[in-house]
Chain A
Amino acid sequence: MGDQPIWITFIVTFAIMTVLLLSMAYTTWYERKVLARFQDRLGPTRTGKAGLMQPLADAVKLMGKEDLVPDAADRNVFLFAPLITFTTALLSAAVIPWGGTVQIFGTDVNLYPTDINVGALFILATGSIGVYGIILGGWSSGNRYSLLGAIRSAAQVISYELILGFSLVGIFIITGTMSLTDIMFKQHEMLSFGPFEISNWFVLTQPLGFVLFVIAAVAETNRAPFDLPEAESELVAGFMTEYSAMRFALYFLGEYISMIIMSLFAATLFLGGTSGPGADKFWGLGIMWLVLKVMAFLFFYIWLRATLPRFRFDQLMGLAWKVLLPLAILNIVVTAFFRLIGNGQVF
């Protein structure tokens, strides 16, 4: 880990962005396929082999559609709002590590765009700006369904962001750092129990934190069963009711990017990131493990969507403030207590 020429950072960032944007398109395909299997259907089959060209066809279709602005809309805010959601979702990828410093063609390359000492908080911060896209989009549409979706989203994201942040405090207490790179490499260490050696993934030491994080992450990305901002059966499509063409696609893709980012974030924090058999010998294997973990998370997201019905709004708020928040605080207290025992400052 160290400084590198800025052109290498540009190349790494470019590669990560390309991969992220492509995988975002193919996450839509993945979701449609997996969801179809859950519902005993085939999903897309016509465009290309196994429907693999479907995302491209969708992109062409969406770009060719008319970009409508309703009469009642606040025009400038309406046009600007989708960009906020999309760009902030992409921005959070800047701090997620895909490995350490490796040698490629004899040059030292950091497999992360940047490593700031508050990386974990940075992702929370970009997420909290991203909610403005939803709120402003809903408000500026001049439609009461959109406004309702926006208001629901504001309340939901504020509540669950708190839990998302609190569920990470346990890890910060254990590692003493907020840099995602440091947190990831702490998990590459091995714990030995007699003849057995297992990786020190934080899901083992922070199981409650992990559960809280996953619940809050699903709510934060507005996915089922927490998709109240866009509940079809009540609000038409919530905050995106009035959007069409590429602006609709920006919201849609922003949601998928934040799903991928949240999966990367969870894999980095709790499942060891790139750690796995052989990852310390070849960096490519590490990336493969990270991708596998992310795909498992995405599968879990889709599984939830296929299984659970939507929450009622009062249940959603009750769950956040009366159940998850006390549990998160309990997790912090217990972790801090064990950390003090580990330091020999108690007993």
Chain B
Amino acid sequence: MSWELVFFAVFSAAMLLCGLGVVAFENPVHSAVALVGSFINVAALFVMLGAEFLGVLQIIVYTGAVLVLVLFTIMLIDPTKLPEFYVGAPLQRFASVVVGAILLAEIGVAIITRTALEQIGPHTEAMVQQMGGNVQAIGQVMLSEYALAFEIASLVLTVGVVGAVVIGLPNRMVEPNTVTMSLGHTRGSSDMLAAGPKFESPMNIPAERYTAPVGERTVVMTKDPDAYTHPGETSK
């Protein structure tokens, strides 16, 4: 048994175990950590295949960027307050099974044609060496043969970024509601309040009887910040 086989067994076993951990762990952060382990082992397998560039990219892009963002999000979730797992509508479930089966079949076909039937693709080891190495070979193929797919992928990413920015923007269409809540000035402590009607305590002024003081800012009197009424509006 060669060393290569031993390493392959170790890496792929670790990858599968980590993959199992992703679905088996109850805590979502533990699942994400298991996914990190799985991705690192995938990168190791890439390196064993002589695809160092893909291996390093796998780590930089998936482990270093995508999964950090995933962790970033789920770290803020309290795992004890998660809702029951929702498996989706029947149609969704059916569609996901079909898509999963198609993807699995694609991988199966690729494995069978490339290894069992020995139909090796154009980029053999000798060919890659002739092109100057992994990086050069991927660069040339990606920017010539697959240039269209490359551009479409970048377009999809741009759409994603623009969408995220649009969702994240504050809603500028709505008139901003600049109301200052003033809770608990005692009488006479503010010049602005002195212009208003005199009550025992501003806390007791019913909103509809209060006239706004002179000045730019509107002062709203309320006991409960959730239930205030704007002066000028009639109370709801």
For B60, list chain A residues within 8 Å (CB): 121, 124-125, 128, 161, 165
* B57 to A, closest residue via Cβ: A121
Q: Which of B5-35 contact A (CB under 8 A)?
A: 27, 29-30, 33
Among A50-58, A131-139, A255-263, A275-283, the stretch in contact with B:
A131-139
Q: B59–A128 contact, CB under 8 A?
A: yes
Asked if A122 is at the interface of the complex by the 8 Å CB criterion, the answer is yes
Asked if A329 is at the interface of the complex by the 8 Å CB criterion, the answer is no
Q: A129–B135 contact, CB under 8 A?
A: no
Report whether over half of chain A's contact residues are helix, strand or loop; otherwise say mixed: helix
A-B contacts, CB under 8 A, total: 78
Q: Using A125-B59, A132-B36, A151-B75 as known contacts, say yes or no to A139 and B29 having CB atoms under 8 A apart.
A: yes
Q: Which of A234-289 contact B (CB under 8 A)?
A: none
* A135 to B, closest residue via Cβ: B71
* A130 to B, closest residue via Cβ: B64
Q: Using A135-B75, A151-B75, A154-B68 as known contacts, say yes or no to A129 and B40 having CB atoms under 8 A apart.
A: yes
Asked if A11 is at the interface of the complex by the 8 Å CB criterion, the answer is no
For B76, list chain A residues within 8 Å (CB): 151
A–B pairs, 27, beta carbons within 8 Å: A116-B52, A117-B133, A117-B134, A118-B135, A122-B56, A124-B60, A125-B59, A125-B63, A125-B64, A128-B63, A128-B64, A128-B65, A129-B40, A129-B59, A129-B63, A129-B64, A131-B64, A131-B68, A132-B68, A132-B71, A135-B72, A136-B29, A136-B33, A139-B71, A150-B75, A157-B68, A158-B65
How distant is the Cα of A161 from the Cα of B59 in the complex, in angstroms?
13
* B54 to A, closest residue via Cβ: A118
Query: 4 other contacts beyond A136-B33, A139-B71, A151-B72, with CB at 8 A cut-off?
Result: A117-B135, A135-B68, A157-B68, A158-B65
For A154, list chain B residues within 8 Å (CB): 68-69, 71-72
Binary contact track A139-175/B, C-beta < 8 Å → 1, others 0: 1000000010011001101100100010000000000
For B59, list chain A residues within 8 Å (CB): 125, 128-129
How distant is the Cα of A11 from the Cα of B57 in the complex, in angstroms?
30
A67 to chain B, nearest CB (A): 21
B31 to chain A, nearest CB (A): 12
